[in-house]
C-alpha cells in the first residue's frame, strides 16, 4: 500500500478516536435528560393531584377571589417539590437544555412564590391556584414531548 492510503487511514482513525469522548458525553447527557424528565413528570403529576385535592372541586361557579386555605398539612404536601428545580434542572443546565423549557422555568418561579405566600398567609385565591395548575399542566406538556 502506498503512504497516501496509510495517511488517510491514520487521519480517519484519529478523527474517530477524537470524537469518541464527545459521543460518550452526548449519549450520557441524553440518558441523564431522559431520567430527569421522567422524575420531573412523575413528581409534577403528584403535585398536581395534591393541589387539586386542596383546591377542591372547581365547577366554574366559584369566585376566583375565594380563599383556598392551606393548613400545615397541605403546605407540607405541596412545599417539598422545589428540589426538582434546584437539584435536577438548575444543577444540570447544559444537559437539560434549559432554554427549551421556558414554561417549566416559569412554572417553578410561580410555584416558589405561591408556596411562600400560602405558607405566610395560610391561603391563596382560587384564581391563583387555578393559574398555578394551568402553568403546571403546561410545564408537564412541555417536558413530555
What is the per-residue pLDDT across 117-139, written as a single tens digit (0 to 9) for each?
999 999 999 999 999 999 999 99
Q: In the predicted model, is pLDDT for residue 2 greater than 90?
A: no
- CA atoms of 83 and 73, how far apart (whole Å): 19
pLDDT number for residue 114: 96
Query: Cell numbers of 74, please?
Result: 397541605
pTM assigned to the model: 0.81
**Average pLDDT in the chain:** 89
pLDDT number for residue 145: 64
Q: In the predicted model, is pLDDT for residue 4 greater than 90?
A: no
Output 58 or 116, whichever has higher pLDDT: 116
**Contact between 31 and 65 (Cβ < 8 Å):** no
Query: Average pLDDT of 75-104?
Result: 84
pLDDT number for residue 30: 87
pLDDT band at 1 (very low <50, low <70, confident <90, very high): low
User: What are the b/e assignments for 81-96, b being 16+ CB within 10 Å?
Assistant: beebbeebbeeeeebb
Amino acid at each position: 500500500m502506498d503512504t497516501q492510503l496509510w495517511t488517510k487511514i491514520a487521519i480517519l482513525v484519529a478523527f474517530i478516536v477524537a470524537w469518541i469522548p464527545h459521543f460518550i458525553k452526548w449519549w450520557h447527557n441524553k440518558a441523564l435528560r431522559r431520567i430527569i424528565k421522567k422524575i420531573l413528570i412523575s413528581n409534577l403529576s403528584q403535585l398536581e393531584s395534591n393541589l387539586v385535592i386542596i383546591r377542591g372541586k372547581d365547577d366554574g361557579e366559584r369566585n376566583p377571589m375565594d380563599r383556598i386555605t392551606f393548613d400545615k398539612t397541605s403546605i407540607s404536601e405541596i412545599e417539598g417539590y422545589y428540589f426538582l428545580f434546584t437539584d435536577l434542572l438548575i444543577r444540570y443546565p447544559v444537559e437539560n437544555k434549559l432554554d427549551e423549557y421556558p414554561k417549566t422555568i416559569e412554572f417553578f418561579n410561580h410555584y416558589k412564590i405561591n408556596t411562600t405566600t400560602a405558607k405566610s398567609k395560610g391561603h391563596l385565591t382560587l384564581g391563583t391556584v387555578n393559574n398555578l395548575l394551568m402553568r403546571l399542566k403546561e410545564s408537564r406538556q412541555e417536558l413530555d414531548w
